[in-house]
Structure 1
């Protein structure tokens, strides 16, 4: 009985000694703690398949495709590789391997707005408009910075790194037809103000004189035509009276042929031609 009691006391003392030893257990580099004992870790690219025992070491297997472990560990499952989603403006910079995760970057024309181990979200660069210039061109980590053109300068499309100066028409001996704006250059005339004056004034004078001459000719033609029409109507009436004279009693009076010829010869040649055409004579 004494021996059994002593044995129980011994076992209790040993257990009391083991409890603080377990809490104070510290594994060396290249080991990990599991179930109160230190086991060897698996290398990068591998995971624990079976933990170690008193008789065997840790059993490791390679990570499956699409998974990885970057360092020695006691992980029983490899980590899932990251996917670079184009909807977030991401593009794959480095493919995932068994020992490293995927590295994501931004599409051209985008910059990263959320950064952890690598970029998590990208957004498009700001686009400068006409009347602005790019003070700072966008990069993968920074957005584009746009600035408005100052007075006397312009930018036609917003892609320039610096606004352009307006053309000085006066300094070139030209006249300014349209002033410059922040989006377009000043428009110069190929002639100076004095040259324009010497050209425009004579040109206007020539046009006015031509119009006056044309009006005068038209008036003269209208007057000549009116006079001719009046004369023709009078001669036609006189001829009708001569060719068809009537007595008061209604009998026809025949004039001498010689007198009729003299009257016809007294009429100008051009009018006789008109008369012959009207009467149908050859």
Structure 2
């Protein structure tokens, strides 16, 4: 009888101890949660699964995260991908493609540690430049007859056109300055000689010759 009572007492004590242990574990876990969430990693580390792991060098990605016994396992980026900085990325970033449909050309090819750099095709200028890398290009403005080119377009700036002033003209809008009109005699009875006629027409002939020698915009 005493043996049964002793055994029953021990079982009750064991159950109470187990309950006490579970309660203590629960309290400790609850207390540690804020510390886990507030975990701050050092420079060159990244947070994953509640712990700090070493980051991978530029041109590499994480293959396996670190553990208590091992560090982060890194592997090189695949062709066409890159990482420019130390990181804990599991996948490298895709390289940019310079799309000719947007007037873009490749200025610098993508490498494992840097993205592609795009520029504008001849005859285009960039409308969205970020750190010498263009996102989109637009064709240069084309000046119309009666206008002259005040400033020719570049890769960063559009063409600027200006209207010819009174008494001047531009036959096709490609000249850097407008030409003066030649004044004819107001007398209907005065007919210019061939020499005078050639002198009167010379500015127009020279203008046409100049425009033929100018390269086409966008070529």
TM-score, structure 1 normalization: 0.58
Q: Distance in 1 between matches of 2:18 and 2:80?
A: 60
Moved over 6 A (4+): none
SS state at 2:105 partner: strand
Q: CA deviation at 1:167?
A: 4.9
What residue number does 1:9 align with?
23
Of 77, 84, 108, the match for 1:63: 77
**TM-score calculated relative to the size of structure 2:** 0.73
Provide the residue aligned with 1:155 in structure 2. 170
Aligned to 1:106: 120
Matched, 1:89 2:133: no
Quote the offset at 1:48 in angstroms.
0.1
Q: Secondary structure at the match of 2:127?
A: strand
Tell me the residue number matched to 1:144: 159
The aligned counterpart of 2:143 is 128
SS in 1 for 2:42: coil
Alpha-carbon RMSD: 2.8
- The Cα shift of 1:177 comes to 5.2
Contact 1:67 1:79 in 2 (8 A): yes
Structure with bigger helix share is 1
| Greater gyration radius | 1
Of 67-76 and 139-148, deviating more is: 139-148
Equivalences for 1:262-281 in 2 at 5 Å? none
Measured after TM superposition, the shift of residue 149 of structure 1 is 1.2
In structure 2, how many angstroms separate the alpha carbons of the residues matched to 1:8 and 1:124? 73
Deviation, structure 1 residue 168: 6.6
Q: Which fold has the larger relative contact order, with Cα–Cα distance below 8 Å and residues 6 or more apart in sequence?
A: 2
* Matched position secondary structure for 1:14: helix
Paired with 1:125 and 1:13, the residues of 2 have a C-alpha distance of 70
Could you tell me which runs of 5 or more consecutive residues in structure 1 were left unpaired when the two chains were aligned. Answer: 186-282
For 1:22, the equivalent position in structure 2 comes to 36
3-state SS of 2:149 partner? strand
User: Does the aligned pair in 2 maintain the 1:155–1:184 contact within 8 Å?
Assistant: no
1:80-101 superposed Cα distances (whole Å, 9 cap, x missing partner): 0011111111100111010110
